[in-house]
Each structure stands twice: as structure tokens, then as C-alpha cells.
Structure 1
């Protein structure tokens, strides 16, 4: 099934993935092996593979040759791939902020903006999309390593986090956000009492939004497998873009698209549903921690 051009506004990374999927579909329709197509186009197999997997955007000459090779000149399919190739070269909105950031953070933001559903387990602090500016500042101040050479300045990190919230929640079609965290996050002081009270109030207010599902895992739930670390699952309603899992720890930050890894984290998140409080119970517990 052809990918949809109107999905291209979701960001350059998603446009690259969609473009690659389209060329893979066209190649499969012709019954050609990747090596065969690459040879006919006089390009390396690795180059064509990078294009098909969304790791690279074809140069104008390669794009022209691909369109000609697949016999789609003058068709809607040609217009579709040209639009995707153009979108894949456009910078994301975050570049306008002029904030230097590590590539892993930029990748996270791209997936965050393209997702139809975001499911996360946050074992340490509240999710960035649900933080107040003051809470975010306290978090990044305490958790940013003094020897982190690629971390943006604290003011930039806070500004970026607020901008992320704006672009996600004010999007024409906001994603469904499902987040779960242990009760210990409610009890953990971050910043002053006033900062915590404002944060808890925002969290409770956001949890009333139709698309925002906030769940607390009470201490009474005991141990659960996911408590070993935080993770985020991005699901997309765009073509055949696969789900993506991001896992983060003090020393590592990885993205996975393999079905096995995604399925395991989906199972972990589903297990949380048997531990957490429902939305109203969670909201009541959140407000009970205000001081």
C-alpha cells in the first residue's frame, strides 16, 4: 500500500522512513532483489539499503534514476516520493531554537512529534511532557552530569522541554499519552515544596485531558518487572512505520525497532496495567501528596 504524503509534515526522520518504505514497495512489486536493483542503477547495494531503511535521502540524481527505473514518471507515485524526499531534507521545528543537542535527543523528539500514541514508564521523575518549568529546571540541575560534554545548558534544556510540550499538546491531532510511574516519584522531593505542589497540580490537571492517561503504581503493588528501568514506546498511525522503543539509563540510551524487543516492552507495559491505579484513583493519590 502506498504511503501517504500528508504524513510527511511529521518530521524529516519519518519522511525518510516513509520514502524508504515506498521504494521498497516499488522494488517488491517488480520482483527485484536489492542487489539487482542497485546494479541496474549503478549504485552500491549498501547505498540503496540505507535509502530503503530511511537512513539516507537519495540525492537528486539518484531520486530521478529511481523514479525512472520503477516506471512511475508523471504519476502520483512520483509526486509522492518527490514530496517525501523534499520533506526529508527540511529541518525540524526544534532547529529554530538554536539549541545544540545530542543526536539521541533529536531522534527522541522526532519520534515524539510523529507518534499517534506514546506509552512510558518513568521510575525516577515525572515524564518531561508533564513537567512544569520549575520542576524541569530542578530535575536537569540535579541530574545533568558536570562532565557531560554534549548536554545543552540548563536554560536551554528547560526551554526545549517546554517547547516539546507545546508542539505535542497543541498539535492538530495530539497523540494519546499513557504514562505510569511508581508512588515513590510522588514522594520524592524535587525543588522546593512550592515547586512540588505546582507540579502535582499540573499533573492532576493534565490527567483529566481525554488523551492523557496518568497512572500511579502504588507501593502496595509490590515488585514489578518494569521497575528496573524507564522506557518509552512510540506507536505511529503512518503507513507501515514500525513501533519504536527507547530505553534510557544513566549510561545508555538506545532505540529499538525489532519486533521482539518492541513486543517485550509492550508486554512489560501491559503488566503495569495490572498494577496501577485507574485514572481517578491516580489523580486522587497525586493530589494527596500536595503539602
Structure 2
């Protein structure tokens, strides 16, 4: 059977980045590390560049070479190597899911928590099916009606991560109050259902929802939507930014820290959790259609 070239998936890139960090911390070159492992001269470069597969059984010897023996770190990198080429459930939808979205779904499935500021809409993990279809139809401008339906199904399926047994994703969402006043002419009761769903989701212990009031003081979130996605150690935090063409990632340590600080300031400018719940309840009571 011919060799199949490794596809640089987001998991493989994260593994390569981690191995590069440990190697440089140990003061070793790619050539010297590769020779010590008995590999050809280009293999280390290809592994760190996410262009070659890393066998899980090679993780512990390589990390030992770098002076890393923490069993938790070894186990996590072994697991990542094992799953590096694994395809998620969303691959069944083919090209409907763009490359950047596939990368984000992979990150989300591995994440420990995500912090989201949403200035203009309800975050995808908190949307009802009807709301998702309406929003996707309005914003996914290059997709067919069939693709809109598929993307709405994907968005709803994603939400299972919030109730996953054992380790549900921790979600902290700050939603601008303006998003709660949205109306849908073709579905008058849609927003009422969505508001009720927000209250139900806020009851889950792993979900925190705050509302940014219309009269809020200025804050960094005024510049747009962002997600701060956090992982168990040793994986670094990643930021996802979205626009009308899709999403892209911010991964540099200093840049990520800037967004983490921005989220803290967004939280400080928003209503408290209790006041946010009351705001949603009041809007639900006033929304009688």
C-alpha cells in the first residue's frame, strides 16, 4: 500500500508546536533530536511542521530526550498523537463545512472552556434550531438553502458538548442586549423561544451568561465578536475571530493575553449573572408574540 501523505490537521499542528517548544527549551536542534531518535534528517522537521505523523509510542522517548517526564504531559501528547488524524463527526457534511470551521470544531471538541463575547447575535452554542436557521440564512451569503439547513444541523449537534458526560465544556458568554431584541417577521414567536432557551441553558452549572446592557460603558468588545478557547495543560489558549468570510485564529502568547484581558473588561462592563437573568426574564415577559 502506498504511503498516504499526512494532512496538516489542527491537532497535528498543535502537536508539532508543542514538540518544537519542548525541543527548543532543551536546547536541541532538529537534526540532533532526529539522530538521537534514529530518524532520517527530515523527519523531525516534517513532524513539527505537521507534515508527518507522529507515532504515539514515540512520544515518551522523545520527551525524555527533552527532559520532560511529567506523566500527565506525556499522556496528553500521546493522546493527541493518537487522535491527530481523526476526523470529527462534522466531516460527514463534506465541503459544507469550511476548513477554518473544521479547525474550530476540532478545537472546540478538545477544549476545556470557551469565553465568548457576542455583540450582535446569540452565540451558536446557545441557539435554538429555528434561530440558527434564520441567522445562518441571513449571514451565510454564499450557501444554498440545502447548505443552510445542513449548517443549522451542525450548529445544533455542536451543543452536545455542553452536556457531555464527565467533562462538559464550560461556557461563559457575554451577549449584548441588542441581540435579545431581534425580531423575525416570518417567525414571530422565535425570539420568545430563544429567550426561554437562554434561561434554561443558564441553569446548567457549566454555563455562565451575562448581558451587556444597552447603556453599558465603553469596553473592548465594542470592536467585535471573539472566542477565547482554553484547553487543559499543556495546551495554550487560542482566540477565534469571526467575520462575514469565516473565522481565523490568534495564537501568539501576547496576543492571546490581550484578548483574555479584553474579556475580563467585557465581563466587568456587563450586568451581573443575576441581573442578566432578570433582564432576559423581563424581555421574555414583554415578548408576547
Cα distance in 1, alignment partners of residues 10 and 172 from structure 2? 23
2:96 aligned counterpart, secondary structure: coil
Q: Compute the TM-score of the two structures, normalised by the length of structure 2.
A: 0.79
The answer to whether structure 1 residue 250 and structure 2 residue 247 are counterparts is: no
Q: Retained in 2: the 8 A contact 1:130–1:203?
A: yes
Q: Aligned equivalents of 1:262 and 1:82: distance in 2?
A: 26
**Inter-partner Cα distance in structure 1 for 2:245 and 2:207:** 29
Structure 1 stretches of at least 4 aligned residues deviating more than 6 Å after TM superposition = 63-66, 68-72, 75-82
Choose 134-143 or 13-22, whichever is displaced more.
13-22
Do the aligned residues in 2 keep the contact of 1:120 with 1:180 (CA within 8 Å)? yes
SS in structure 2 at match of 1:240: coil
Structure 1 residues 185-244: Cα deviation after superposition (integer angstroms, max 9, x where no partner): 11122452311100000001111211101000111214322112100000111x321100
Is the Cα–Cα contact under 8 Å of residues 162 and 170 in structure 2 kept in the other structure? no
Give the match for residue 224 of structure 2.
229
Q: Distance in 1 between matches of 2:136 and 2:228?
A: 22
Structure 1 stretch displaced more, 80-89 or 120-129: 80-89
- Coordinate RMSD, CA, aligned: 3.5
Q: Distance in 2 between matches of 1:263 and 1:71?
A: 31
**Which residue of structure 2 lines up, in the alignment, with residue 34 of structure 1?**
30
Contact 2:31/2:41 (<8 A) preserved: no
User: 2:195, 2:33 → 1: CA distance?
Assistant: 56
Extract unaligned runs of 5+ from structure 1: 1-11
The total of aligned residue pairs comes to 270
Structure 2 partner of 1:156: 150
Q: Secondary structure at the match of 2:262?
A: helix
The answer on 1:212 being equivalent to 2:199 is: no
The correspondence for 2:115, drawn from 119, 129, 139, is 119
Q: Where does structure 2 lack aligned partners over 5 or more consecutive residues?
A: 1-8
Map of 2:188 onto structure 1: 193
Greater relative contact order (Cα 8 A, min sep 6): structure 1 or 2?
1
Deviation at 1:167, TM superposition (A): 3.1
Determine whether 1:25 maps to 2:22: yes
Provide the C-alpha distance between the structure 2 equivalents of 1:33 and 1:88, rounded to a whole number of angstroms. Answer: 24
Give the aligned partner of residue 133 of structure 2. 137
Normalised to the residue count of structure 1, the TM-score between the two structures is 0.79
Instruction: After TM superposition, list the pairs within 5 Å mapping 1:1-291 onto structure 2.
Output: 13-14=10-11, 17-18=14-15, 21-22=18-19, 25=22, 29=26, 31-38=27-34, 41-44=39-42, 48-49=44-45, 51-52=47-48, 55-58=50-53, 84-96=80-92, 100-145=96-141, 147=142, 153-190=147-184, 192-237=187-232, 239-251=233-245, 253-290=247-284, 291=287
Q: Distance in 2 between matches of 1:39 and 1:48?
A: 9
